[in-house]
Structure 1
Amino acid sequence: MNRNAAFASALAAVLTTAVSLAQTTAAPAAAAPAAAAAVAPQAIPAKIAIIEYEQVAAATNEGQRLLQELQTKYTPQKTKLDALAAEIDSLQKQLQAAPATMTDEERASRARAIDTKQKQYQRDGDDATTAYNADVQDAIGKVAQKLGPVVMKYVQQNGYTMLLDNNGQQQGGLTLMWAVGGIDISQAIVDAYNASSGVAAPPPSAPSATRPRPTAPATKPGPSK
Structure 2
Amino acid sequence: MNRRHVALLSAGMLSVVFAASAVAQTASPTAPEPTSPAAAAVKPEAIPAKVALVAFEQAVFATNEGQRAVQEVQKKFEPQQTKIQAQAAEVDSLKKQLQAATTISDEERASRVKTIDTKEKALNRDGEDASAAYQQELQEAYSKVAAKVADVMRKYVQTSGFTLLLDVSGQTSSVMWAAQQTDITRAVVDAYNTSSGVAAPPPSAPGAGRPATTQRTTPRSTTPAAPKK
For Structure 1 versus Structure 2, the TM-score category normalised by the shorter chain is: 0.7 to 0.9
Q: Secondary structure at the match of 1:15?
A: coil
1: CA distance, partners of 2:131 / 2:161: 42
Give the paired residue count. Answer: 189
Pairwise CA distance, 1:153? 0.8
2: CA distance, partners of 1:58 / 1:213: 16
2: CA distance, partners of 1:82 / 1:207: 15
1:192 aligned partner: 191
2:105 aligned partner: 103
- The one-letter amino acid paired with 1:214 is P
Residues 7-43 of structure 1, C-alpha deviation per residue, up to 9 Å, x if partnerless? Answer: 33343x43227xx8xx5674xxxxxxxxxxxxxxxx6
Matched, 1:119 2:117: no
2: CA distance, partners of 1:107 / 1:3: 50
Matched, 1:6 2:17: no
2:52 to 40, 49, 55: 49
TM-score (norm. length: structure 2): 0.73
Question: Are the structure 2 counterparts of residues 77 and 94 from structure 1 closer, same or farther at C-alpha, using a change threshold of 3 Å?
Answer: same
Q: Give me the CA root mean square deviation.
A: 2.9
Question: Are the structure 2 counterparts of residues 140 and 207 from structure 1 closer, same or farther at C-alpha, using a change threshold of 3 Å?
Answer: farther
Contact 2:68 2:201 in 1 (8 A): yes
Question: Are the structure 2 counterparts of residues 132 and 64 from structure 1 closer, same or farther at C-alpha, using a change threshold of 3 Å?
Answer: same
2: CA distance, partners of 1:206 / 1:58: 17
Contact 2:130 2:212 in 1 (8 A): no
Gaps of 5+ in 2: 1-18, 34-38, 214-229
Matched, 1:166 2:168: yes
Query: Larger C-alpha radius of gyration, 1 or 2?
Result: 1
1: CA distance, partners of 2:135 / 2:95: 31
Contact 1:10 1:151 in 2 (8 A): yes
Contact 1:81 1:124 in 2 (8 A): yes
2: CA distance, partners of 1:45 / 1:180: 17
1: CA distance, partners of 2:190 / 2:138: 21
User: Percent identity between the aligned chains?
Assistant: 52
Contact 1:57 1:140 in 2 (8 A): yes
Pairwise CA distance, 1:48? 1.5
2: CA distance, partners of 1:189 / 1:169: 20
TM-score (norm. length: structure 1): 0.74
Point out the structure with the larger helix share: 1
Pairwise CA distance, 1:179? 4.1
- The one-letter amino acid paired with 1:47 is K
Pairwise CA distance, 1:169? 4.7
- The one-letter amino acid paired with 2:26 is S
Residues 116-149 of structure 1, C-alpha deviation per residue, up to 9 Å, x if partnerless? Answer: 1111111110110111011001001100001111
2:76 aligned partner: 73
- Paired residues for 1:135-174 under 5 Å: 135-169=137-171
Gaps of 5+ in 1: 27-42, 217-225
2: CA distance, partners of 1:206 / 1:186: 26
2:32 to 6, 9, 16: 16
- The one-letter amino acid paired with 2:189 is V
Pairwise CA distance, 1:206? 6.9
Q: Secondary structure at the match of 2:165?
A: strand
2:211 to 211, 214, 219: 214
1:132 to 131, 134, 152: 134
Residues 86-107 of structure 1, C-alpha deviation per residue, up to 9 Å, x if partnerless? Answer: 100110011001132x111110
Q: Secondary structure at the match of 2:162?
A: coil
